Chain A
Amino acid sequence: MEYKYFSKLFILISIVYLLSCNKLQINNFHQNSDQTTSQLLTHNFNYQRNTVSEQELDPPLVLVFEDDYNGLATNGFSSVDSILFFGTGKGYLIAFDLNKNKVVGKKKFGLSTSAPPTIYKNILYQAYDSGDYGLIAYDVVEGEKLWEIENNLTSSSPIVVENKVFYQSNQGKVYCCNFLTGETIWTADLKCFGVNSIAFDNGIIISSNLDGSIFALEYTSGIVLWEKSLNDKIFANPVINENHVYISTYNGYLYEIDMEEGNIIQSKDFGIPIYYGVTVDIDYIYVPISSGELKVLDKGSFIEVWSNNGSGPAASSVVVSNNYVYFPTLGKHLYILDKTTGKKLQEIELEGRVRSIPLIINGRLVIASEDDNVNIFAISK
């Protein structure tokens, strides 16, 4: 009798699980065919990988929602209207409605992902760093997978421009594929090893790699325009701003490089590893250092303007808005700083180490932390 009871319960649970937890289809998805390469439309930070935000939230902020989602969320989110998209460390793709504070779609594909997804014309492109395929294209409205690319595992968040998908595999090959069919248009074998995302602006793709090499590729053909070796290791994404490329390195250097020619314009030695990309606005460069400091430099002279100490190493690139700097750390903290003075305006402590770039959207600040949590903050009323 006990056995029959348990077996029925087991079957019921399995059915509920299968039905509820493996579907990703957003019927009323916003479609927008206008898109320029510098705009925020399909990816919440631009393809220059420069985490400057047009939106901001005035501190103090309060936690309005948190929940855990099958593995650590990717280190960035993509959103269209009120729908957030992100991947997880257990291979799930998740759609989350910010207005309703609930998951509206969820589907498991590969084994694990760490790069934020990209959305373009209702198609979600998600990279995988483990499993059988490196990139999938998924129609979010129809709820079906369009294509996948076997192998070519990648930690690079895809770029989609003019109906072409660009991404770099961990083995150092840059691919250009048709956005709808996945057919390869061109491949550039850079013969290196990368753990970060490529950047794009003005028709040039910038790739930076673990062995310290940087490549600039023409985006229609994949031809290498220039190549540079820094004799250092690069973990961080390259960042593009006003035709300059900013590279931060493992040995603690920041380089400013001319995007057209590949010449080093200037550099600065911080002496401590920098694992994440800088943020560049009109006047300043924000450098998140692994000692827990945020150093802010004058963009023209590279002279330090102010700095601030956080608890633990920087967890990602900082987000800079008109008035604030949002600075997350591995010490489980998110700091909101005054952009001009660096003064701490609010110090938020989370349950786990922060692991994503904060996203400010529709009056919400979204940030992922360890213990699989997605945390949402809003302005305190």
Chain B
Amino acid sequence: MKMRFQIFITIVLLFSISSLFAQGFYFGRNKIQYNNFDWHILKTEHFDIYYYPEMEDVAEKGANFAEESYQILQTKFNHTINRRVPLIFYSSHMHFQQTNITPGFIPEGVGGFFEFLKGRVVIPSNGNLNQFKKVIRHELVHVFMHSKIDRVQKNKGKLDGAYPPLWFTEGLAEVWSSKWDSQAEMVVKDAVLHNYMVPLNQIYRINGTYMMYKVGQNILEYIIRKYGEDKLLLLMENLWKHSRFEESFKETLGLSYLEFDEEWIYYLKKKYYPKLQTNDFSDKVAHTVVRNGYNFKPAYYELDGNEHVVFLANRTGYSSIYSRRLKPLKIKEDDDSEILIKGEESSDFEAFHLFSSKIDVNNNGLLTFGSKSGEKDALYIYDIKERKTLNKYYFKNLTGVLSPSWSPDGKKVAFAGLDFSGYKDIYIFNTENEELLKLTNDFYDDNDPAWSPDGNYLIFSSDRTEYGIQWAYNLFMLNINTGDLSYITYGNHKDTAPVFSNDGKSILFTSDCDTSLNIYLAELDINKQTIEIEKISNFTGAAFDPEWTPDGGIIFAVFEKGVFQIRYVENLETLRQKKSSEFFTLPKIVKSKEPWKFKNFSHDKKSEKFKYSKDYDLDIAQTQVSQDPIFGTSGGAQLAFTDVLGNDQYHVLIYNNAQSSDEFLKSFNFALTKVNLAKRTNYAYGLFRYAGRFFNYQDGFFYEDRIGGFFALSYPLSQFMRLEYNTSISYSDKTWYGINNRLAYLASNYVSFVKDNSIWSSTGPIDGQRFKISVGNTFDLRYSNVNYFTLMLDFRNYMRLGLRSTYAFRVLSLLNEGKEARQYYLGSSWDMRGYPRWSIRGQRIFFTSQELRFPFIDLLGIRFPFGTIGFNSIRAALFLDAGNAWDDEFKNINEWSESLIGSFGLGFRMRLIGFLVLRLDFGKRTDFNSVSDGIFTQFFFGWDF
């Protein structure tokens, strides 16, 4: 009971305080509140919009988008939302990552989320108003769908009816918020042509991936086209009749998943296979420079007479900057790509924005790139030859620094800067005098600036085109000296990533004007009104982000076979298989005229604005009753309240383990905790009383009544490191049955330092490092009955051996020394394997564990007559554990090593349902002089260390 009670209380209390420490109490990265946002609320007819004054303009546009979306979605769903919907807006993704509405980390690829417990929607703006509008609509589709299905079930008295699978919820959100675009086309076409398209009846295999979003969208667009959009509504309205979504699918469409797959996959093949007649796989036409992993934004440079390409990539789980020789062109494996700068391991290089930010190298071999570093992006200048950062620049009002580009003289850098208000413009930074010049200044989204060879012009991609309100981007040329702006391309499509040719007479760029992403060439003459655009690449897959080499070659990125690769051709002619041009008439730009604009929210409609004041709501309410054969029945309840922004939390725990009514007060337990996450320093404080019968191997059975208070602080030094401080004062009345009684006024103070930059595979960490060191003291203020100090060191290192293999090493040292010092425990699947749980005990512990972790079975499927079950990613590990626990004073080396014990063997791990990892270990015990007979087997759950 002691163990269970303690575990229960600890888990519950730690749940309270674990919010304090980002992802998990013990280790975990830190979510840092860099900014003190001055929150305000804009109340519209259906929404409460939370924003800060710097982004008020974006917030008002967002309010309009939201109300517009509401009107559209209420007709599509034939439903209304009965409550006001909280929308929390941020002006950039970096601010968005600071939100406390979700405790977890928000990766760069997450554009927004709907939190369904309290119905909050959280969305960043990030400089692109069309994208902002789309994400608002996408998340509101989730809001409507959740409400609709909940209502449909309730109207029919169903408490636990079927719920749509993830492919449907995300597919529906995509279908009803955006059109089928070139990125979606890229993903689906590649999967069909390279035979890895996942049919609907196996779509669980890609759950949660971007591919699932696009496949889901494609499936629903197909259903709309063939069966009618009303079927999407009926799929939801029929759900109450069934226990599984697949049954509703069958009732609504008249097809099982298998039957649907036959016709849908056939449709895809008919659509895409003919492309092979006229298009090629890019690796049949161009040389492969980099193949494995996710590789983006190539840039060319020369070093010591050799040609190189530098690029952004994620190939191991960490996003980094890589480099490799461009020639010789034959590659067997990518083992000659080296990491120039490793990202996501330190606070300098937290994120390189792989999808949206280019990099560039000047003639002096200086690399420039933007990276998140702490609160916001910094502009970096890095010497490739010397392998060191020369300069790092922050800009006061800028949150994002994207796609920096060197001027021809190597002294200035042009980049797209995202400011605090949420708008992105083009800037030039002079590295000599460190002056920053803002070239554009409006709400249009400007990206990818590139210099002309003479340094007088900048070309960039922008939605300031007349088609911009339909989310088009065209290329514009800016005369830096006069400020004149002119169209270079024009049309209702996306033109991006322009780059001048070496002679300045033409431009290569990426465009989706034929629905797929391809590379185009524009002959440049700004005096002409009509421009000739020629499609250069003609691949089955997407090609984008072209770069010239000095001798007229082209390096570019492609998406093929499910990965992003980099290719190279020696000249244009290699790509240009068939000349295909179009002529466009370019409109003149009238300076005083805005091509388009989104309306701000009209305050004629019902609305009001005011400063945010905290309003608390119930987050969690749960109860537990347990029955123990020795200690009887116990029960408790937990409540948690937070404010809308998740910054302030109150936790209430009530628990009782009385065995008779006269014990009720004596066994009444509670904990009241307040947690504050609003600022960089997080803190928690509270009161508690823990009373009841306990047992441990050190004390035997005893009764303890402890009442007191605590205070905890956590200060993140960076995303990866933090300092923690905990203090508590309590009154403790402890009685060992039939023996003696001890009173104490206990004061505890602990300080810890935590570092964690690890990344995880499916069953545990696979790269990086984690460690924690804690020092503290617990003493009796009044009676001197207790006085011990504690030292804890837990160090874990993961040395990557391959993409999915690692050598993991752990050292754990625990020490309690003094009066009434507690014991620690070893033994179990989680530490010393092969030994019974908690069978190794002492006030001191030294323990090491080594594992060689590797993949064992990638996919195991068993087909029954009634269906198939599959198990993904079964991993294995060879392990060696060693250590011991003791109470005596420290012995000399020889004696200590005689009592060293351990185990070794082979273990298997498998993750189920997203979070439960099952563990099965086989091995032998050893005292390092001999090995036990027989093999132990240990089965349990839990992550790898």
Is residue B433 contacting chain A, with contact meaning CB distance below 8 A? no
Contact B156 A272 (CB under 8 A): no
Residues of A110-152 whose CB lies within 8 A of B: 111-112, 129-130
A102 to B82 CA separation, bound complex (whole angstroms): 29
Whether A89 touches B155, Cβ cut-off 8 Å, given contacts A130-B241, A291-B71, is yes
Contact residues in B for A275 (Cβ distance below 8 Å): 78
Residues of B471-518 whose CB lies within 8 A of A: none
Is residue A85 contacting chain B, with contact meaning CB distance below 8 A? no
The 8 closest A-B pairs by CB, nearest first: A90-B157, A72-B155, A290-B75, A312-B80, A233-B230, A89-B156, A330-B80, A89-B155
Across the two chains, which residue of chain B brings its CB closest to A130? B241
Contact B230 A290 (CB under 8 A): no
B536 to chain A, nearest CB (A): 42
Is residue B553 contacting chain A, with contact meaning CB distance below 8 A? no
A214 to B79 CA separation, bound complex (whole angstroms): 27
Contact residues in A for B154 (Cβ distance below 8 Å): 72, 370
Contact A313 B78 (CB under 8 A): yes
Contact A313 B155 (CB under 8 A): no
Residues of A206-261 whose CB lies within 8 A of B: 210, 233, 235, 250
Is residue B208 contacting chain A, with contact meaning CB distance below 8 A? no
A111 to chain B, nearest CB (A): 8
Is residue B392 contacting chain A, with contact meaning CB distance below 8 A? no
Is residue A262 contacting chain B, with contact meaning CB distance below 8 A? no
A363 to B230 CA separation, bound complex (whole angstroms): 39
Contact B75 A313 (CB under 8 A): yes
Contact B80 A331 (CB under 8 A): yes
Contact B82 A332 (CB under 8 A): yes
A311 to chain B, nearest CB (A): 8
Across the two chains, which residue of chain A brings its CB closest to B79? A330
A195 to B80 CA separation, bound complex (whole angstroms): 21
Contact residues in A for B74 (Cβ distance below 8 Å): 290-292, 312-313, 330
Is residue B146 contacting chain A, with contact meaning CB distance below 8 A? no
Contact residues in A for B80 (Cβ distance below 8 Å): 311-313, 330-332, 353
A353 to B83 CA separation, bound complex (whole angstroms): 11
Is residue A71 contacting chain B, with contact meaning CB distance below 8 A? yes
With beta carbons under 8 angstroms apart, the residue of B75, B82, B156 that contacts A291 is: B75
B248 to chain A, nearest CB (A): 12
Contact A353 B82 (CB under 8 A): yes
Whether A273 touches B75, Cβ cut-off 8 Å, given contacts A130-B241, A210-B230, A353-B82, is yes
- The SS class assigned to the B binding surface is helix
Contact A250 B79 (CB under 8 A): no
Q: Known A-B contacts: A71-B155, A112-B156. Give 19 more (CB < 8 A).
A: A70-B157, A89-B156, A90-B157, A111-B156, A112-B240, A129-B241, A210-B230, A210-B234, A273-B76, A291-B71, A292-B74, A312-B80, A313-B74, A313-B78, A313-B79, A313-B80, A330-B80, A332-B80, A353-B151
Contact A71 B82 (CB under 8 A): no
A94 to B631 CA separation, bound complex (whole angstroms): 50
A233 to B240 CA separation, bound complex (whole angstroms): 22
Is residue A182 contacting chain B, with contact meaning CB distance below 8 A? no
A265 to B816 CA separation, bound complex (whole angstroms): 93
Whether A272 touches B230, Cβ cut-off 8 Å, given contacts A90-B157, A130-B156, is no
A370 to B152 CA separation, bound complex (whole angstroms): 10
B804 to chain A, nearest CB (A): 48
Contact residues in A for B75 (Cβ distance below 8 Å): 272-273, 290-291, 313
Is residue B228 contacting chain A, with contact meaning CB distance below 8 A? yes
A291 to B73 CA separation, bound complex (whole angstroms): 9
Is residue A342 contacting chain B, with contact meaning CB distance below 8 A? no
Contact residues in A for B79 (Cβ distance below 8 Å): 313, 330, 353
Residues of B52-86 whose CB lies within 8 A of A: 71, 74-76, 78-80, 82
Contact residues in B for A355 (Cβ distance below 8 Å): 155
Contact A290 B78 (CB under 8 A): yes
Among B75, B229, B240, which residue has the most Cβ atoms of chain A within 10 A? B75
Scan B204-247; emit 1 where CB is below 8 A from any A CB, else 0.
Answer: 00000000000000000000000011100010000011000000
Contact B230 A235 (CB under 8 A): yes
Across the two chains, which residue of chain A brings its CB closest to B45? A311
Pull 28 A–B residue pairs with CB atoms less than 8 Å apart, ordered by A: A71-B155, A72-B154, A89-B156, A89-B157, A112-B156, A129-B241, A130-B240, A195-B234, A210-B230, A250-B228, A250-B230, A273-B75, A273-B76, A273-B78, A290-B74, A290-B78, A291-B71, A291-B74, A312-B74, A313-B78, A313-B80, A330-B80, A331-B80, A332-B80, A352-B82, A353-B80, A353-B151, A370-B151
A355 to B74 CA separation, bound complex (whole angstroms): 15
B147 to chain A, nearest CB (A): 10
With beta carbons under 8 angstroms apart, the residue of B78, B155, B229 that contacts A330 is: B78
Contact residues in A for B71 (Cβ distance below 8 Å): 291
Contact A90 B78 (CB under 8 A): no
Whether A90 touches B156, Cβ cut-off 8 Å, given contacts A312-B74, A313-B74, is yes
Contact residues in B for A272 (Cβ distance below 8 Å): 75
Which residues of B does A touch, CB under 8 Å? 71, 74-76, 78-80, 82, 151, 154-157, 228-230, 234, 240-241
Contact residues in A for B241 (Cβ distance below 8 Å): 129-130
Residues of A294-323 whose CB lies within 8 A of B: 311-313
B157 to chain A, nearest CB (A): 4
A70 to B78 CA separation, bound complex (whole angstroms): 23
Contact residues in B for A233 (Cβ distance below 8 Å): 228, 230
Contact B230 A71 (CB under 8 A): no
Contact residues in B for A370 (Cβ distance below 8 Å): 151, 154-155
A327 to chain B, nearest CB (A): 15
Across the two chains, which residue of chain B brings its CB closest to A73? B155
A89 to B158 CA separation, bound complex (whole angstroms): 10
Contact residues in B for A330 (Cβ distance below 8 Å): 74, 78-80
Across the two chains, which residue of chain B brings its CB closest to A329? B80
Across the two chains, which residue of chain B brings its CB closest to A212? B228
Contact residues in B for A290 (Cβ distance below 8 Å): 74-75, 78
A193 to chain B, nearest CB (A): 8
Contact residues in B for A112 (Cβ distance below 8 Å): 156-157, 240
Contact residues in B for A89 (Cβ distance below 8 Å): 155-157
Across the two chains, which residue of chain B brings its CB closest to A112? B156
Across the two chains, which residue of chain B brings its CB closest to A289? B75
Across the two chains, which residue of chain A brings its CB closest to B228? A233
Contact residues in B for A292 (Cβ distance below 8 Å): 74
A252 to chain B, nearest CB (A): 9
B605 to chain A, nearest CB (A): 12
Contact residues in A for B157 (Cβ distance below 8 Å): 70-71, 89-91, 112
A274 to chain B, nearest CB (A): 10
Contact residues in A for B156 (Cβ distance below 8 Å): 71-72, 89-90, 111-112, 130
A108 to chain B, nearest CB (A): 11
Contact residues in A for B78 (Cβ distance below 8 Å): 273, 275, 290, 313, 330
A233 to B252 CA separation, bound complex (whole angstroms): 13
B306 to chain A, nearest CB (A): 64
Scan A348-381; emit 1 where CB is below 8 A from any B CB, else 0.
Answer: 0000110100000000000000100000000000
Contact residues in A for B228 (Cβ distance below 8 Å): 233, 250
B250 to chain A, nearest CB (A): 13
Across the two chains, which residue of chain A brings its CB closest to B229? A250
Contact residues in B for A353 (Cβ distance below 8 Å): 79-80, 82, 151
Contact residues in A for B155 (Cβ distance below 8 Å): 71-72, 89, 355, 370
Contact residues in B for A332 (Cβ distance below 8 Å): 80, 82
A292 to B240 CA separation, bound complex (whole angstroms): 26
Contact residues in B for A331 (Cβ distance below 8 Å): 80
A210 to B228 CA separation, bound complex (whole angstroms): 10
A313 to B73 CA separation, bound complex (whole angstroms): 10
A311 to B75 CA separation, bound complex (whole angstroms): 12
Among B80, B234, B241, which residue has the most Cβ atoms of chain A within 10 A? B80
A34 to chain B, nearest CB (A): 37
Across the two chains, which residue of chain B brings its CB closest to A252? B75
A250 to B229 CA separation, bound complex (whole angstroms): 9
A250 to B230 CA separation, bound complex (whole angstroms): 7
A90 to B155 CA separation, bound complex (whole angstroms): 8
Contact residues in B for A72 (Cβ distance below 8 Å): 154-156
A88 to chain B, nearest CB (A): 8
